[in-house]
Amino acid sequence: MIMTDITLTIDGKQVAVPKGTSILQAAITAGITIPHYCWHPGLKAVGNCRMCLVQVEKWPKPVASCVQPVSEGMVVKTSTDEITKIRKSVMEFLLINHPLDCPTCDQAGECRLQDYYMNYDEVPSRFAEEKVSKNKMIDLGANVMLDQERCIACTRCIRVCQEVAGVDELTLANRGDHTMITTFPGKKLSNPYAGNTIDVCPVGALTNKDFRFKKRVWFLERTPSVCPGCSRGCNIEIHHEELKVYRLLPRYNPEVNNYWICDEGRYGYKFINEDRILRPRILEKNISHLVSSDEAVDRLAGLMKGGALDEIGVVANAQETNETLQALADFAKTVLKTRHLYFSRREVENPVSDNFLMTADKNPNQAFVDKLGFRPLSTLKEVRGLLVLNSLSPADMKKVIEKKVPILGIWASNENPAAHSSAVVFPIPTYAEQEGHFTNVRGLTQKITAAYPPRGEARLVSETLEELTERLQTNARSYTQNSYPLSPHL
Amino acid sequence: MTMEFSPENKKKLAEILSRYPTKQAALLPTLWLAQGEFGFISQETMEYVAGLLDISPAHVYGVVTFYTMFHRKPPGKYNLQVCRTLSCALRGSESLLDHLKKKLGIGENETTPDGKFSLCTVECLASCGTAPAMMVNQKYFENLDASKVDEILNGLK
């Protein structure tokens, strides 16, 4: 709104920002970073850390730029000698009782105390007294570990609980150098967004039980992606090294999730590392054999040629990308010319949902599955075999067994019951290892990127479908499906 | 046993609440009322007060622990509160505290086995001009030294 813009000067740069903007935010607009601990763009400003003090011309004292709104013609200086001296004093106070245990601290490498110390140091220490010692290992609950000695009492975690999760679970107890973050005695942190307290903690006070002591953060690469945990499609960063994912962090997107993700999504990455299908295999007389990708494609083509192609059903999955779903739909419609287009999806018992980020549909891409016209597998008609993407929900698996429909081929990233009973199994990448898109519950299509290449011999579904198309259109050897019955124990 | 204010204190609480724009604002006088009735502020009391004022127990805990005047355990008959802030510290409150500890055989935030004395340190008692200072329950004692403290203790029955 141009009408209400206020013009001010920060470090010689003219900036126009809407009325009510804080000096700190105006400075960010101008590309000037003012150091701060307690201010967070997603939380209410409280002005308690004093690190963001700046000078305003003609004003008698420095002001906290995070809580001071801009005014017309204001001339702000963010890095005068006096301000530098003040920030050094703030740092000195913050570090008086700090344990300086950076070598064993998980925050090292992404710690504001470390970062700002490079700019505002005061060497040597003038503190001759004994440091106050506190508890260094408190399990606050919900995977959040607290080291009270490292805390600088900025209250970001308290505000995340209040403002994001909507529950007042944390507080500052005691006073002065005995101040500490705590829950009510005997109570645990238990809100489904508790992990965000760790993200906003500017120091090593709150660390993640799931991540701590596993990896130095500077070894981690960061890949932008979208959470596949539910249909919200929260934007995330995948933090990985080589072929392993170590953690997921929220990625700012004001359209979807702001600065936050839920804990369910945050800790939903384990399947990327564990229980993977990494090589193609075929089931022969109920015994699984590892084969080359070529052999697997040959085998599946042979099985499919044992009868009419349009009597084969395909089962899409709401876990897969738009590109994969589209490739499967095209294959089914143009190559198989089948009308049997179904889908399955991840179903959990008592799915948690709320009015904030979590939806009850624990799939990232139901919207696109619906758009392509796939129908629920519960409506399964007579088919002579199925091609399955990813997996089948327990109910769908039951249905397939009841109907005695063999699974001819499956494209799966992880071991699952459908893969165990499929005649041919193709390993595919998880969402972390491929490019593509998910369409979320509100119809927003968002891009995911590959953190690293597909593991093992995993290949994109579209690649094997192309090869399969070629094989089906030539006179390759034909297998009869009778040799590969559905495993009786499944 | 569920905790509840006496009818008289319920009336007082209603009067307190009428004085403030929000329920949360009435926290300190409500806690004071509770300490008056129940003798100290237990966890149960904090949860009761939180419920009365529609705020979280965590917030109440933060406030209770901030103020040394709220007791989380039943205090002794005589609660000795030694000022630990600057002026008193410069005028010898630390050795005064040591003297009291030795004499009573208890540490900070402890009570003698007979329940007579409890000892704690508090922030500035606003008596810097007559430092070091100590409060015994609601009463001030100033310009203290070890012998004066002994005298005071002897006078407390």
Report pLDDT digits (tens) over A137-165: 999 999 999 999 999 999 999 999 999 99
Do B59 and A168 lie within an 8 Å CB cutoff? yes
Q: Which residue of B has its CA nearest to A169?
A: B58
* pLDDT at residue A478 greater than cutoff 70: no
* pLDDT at residue A480 greater than cutoff 60: no
* pLDDT at residue A489 greater than cutoff 90: no
State whether A397 and A300 are in the same domain.
yes
State whether A409 and A326 are in the same domain.
yes
The CATH code of the domain that includes A235 is 3.30.70.20
Q: Is A487 contained in some domain?
A: no
- The confidence score (pLDDT) of residue A3 equals 60
* pLDDT at residue A476 greater than cutoff 70: no
* pLDDT at residue A288 greater than cutoff 50: yes
A-chain CB neighbours of B57 within 8 Å are 184, 187
State whether A256 and A318 are in the same domain.
no
Find the CB nearest A184 among B58, B66, B123.
Answer: B58
Lowest mean pLDDT segment, chosen from A78-92, A210-224, A476-490, B59-73: A476-490
* pLDDT at residue A488 greater than cutoff 90: no
- The confidence score (pLDDT) of residue A259 equals 98
A191 or B157, greater pLDDT: A191
State whether A322 and A379 are in the same domain.
yes
- The confidence score (pLDDT) of residue A481 equals 39
Radius of gyration for chain A, computed over Cα atoms and rounded to the nearest angstrom:
28
What average pLDDT score do residues A176-186 get? 95
Q: Is A396 contained in some domain?
A: yes
Find the CB nearest B58 among A171, A174, A176.
Answer: A171
Confidence of residue A4 (pLDDT cuts 50, 70, 90): confident
A-chain CB neighbours of B46 within 8 Å are 184
- The confidence score (pLDDT) of residue A473 equals 83
- The confidence score (pLDDT) of residue A2 equals 53
**A358-382 tens-digit pLDDT:** 999 999 999 999 999 999 999 999 9
* pLDDT at residue A42 greater than cutoff 50: yes
- The confidence score (pLDDT) of residue A479 equals 42
Per the CATH hierarchy, to which homologous superfamily does domain B78-154 belong? Glutaredoxin (3.40.30.10)
What number of C-beta contacts closer than 8 Å exist between A and B? Answer: 39
Residue B27 Cα, gap to closest chain A Cα (Å): 15
Looking at chain B, the domain(s) classified CATH 3.40.30.10 span: 78-154
State whether A194 and A301 are in the same domain.
no
- The confidence score (pLDDT) of residue A6 equals 95
A-chain CB neighbours of B55 within 8 Å are 168
State whether A122 and A75 are in the same domain.
no
* pLDDT at residue A96 greater than cutoff 70: yes
- The confidence score (pLDDT) of residue A486 equals 40
Q: What is the percent of chain B where pLDDT is above 90?
A: 95
Q: Does residue B58 belong to the interface with chain A, where contact is any CB pair within 8 Å?
A: yes
* pLDDT at residue A243 greater than cutoff 60: yes
State whether A288 and A395 are in the same domain.
yes
A305 or A125, greater pLDDT: A305
What average pLDDT score do residues A386-400 get? 97
Confidence of residue A474 (pLDDT cuts 50, 70, 90): low
Our count of domains for chain A comes to 3
What average pLDDT score do residues B28-56 get? 96
State whether A180 and A285 are in the same domain.
no
- The confidence score (pLDDT) of residue A20 equals 94
Owning domain of residue A102? 98-270
- The confidence score (pLDDT) of residue A55 equals 98
- The confidence score (pLDDT) of residue B72 equals 93
CATH 1.10.3470 fits B7-66, yes or no: no
- The confidence score (pLDDT) of residue A124 equals 83
- The confidence score (pLDDT) of residue A122 equals 73
Q: Is A86 contained in some domain?
A: no
State whether A131 and A10 are in the same domain.
no
- The confidence score (pLDDT) of residue A437 equals 97
Average pLDDT, rounded, for chain A: 94
State whether A111 and A204 are in the same domain.
yes
Q: Which residue of B has its CA nearest to A168?
A: B56
ipTM of the predicted structure?
0.86
Do B55 and A175 lie within an 8 Å CB cutoff? no
- Of A26, A47, A79, which marks where a domain is finished? A79
Q: Is A89 contained in some domain?
A: no
A-chain CB neighbours of B59 within 8 Å are 168, 171
State whether A73 and A104 are in the same domain.
no
What average pLDDT score do residues B17-36 get? 97
State whether A262 and A143 are in the same domain.
yes
* Residue B118 C-beta-side C-alpha neighbours within 13 Å: 17
Q: Whole-prediction pTM value?
A: 0.90
The CATH code of the domain that includes A56 is 3.10.20.740
* pLDDT at residue A292 greater than cutoff 70: yes
* pLDDT at residue B37 greater than cutoff 60: yes
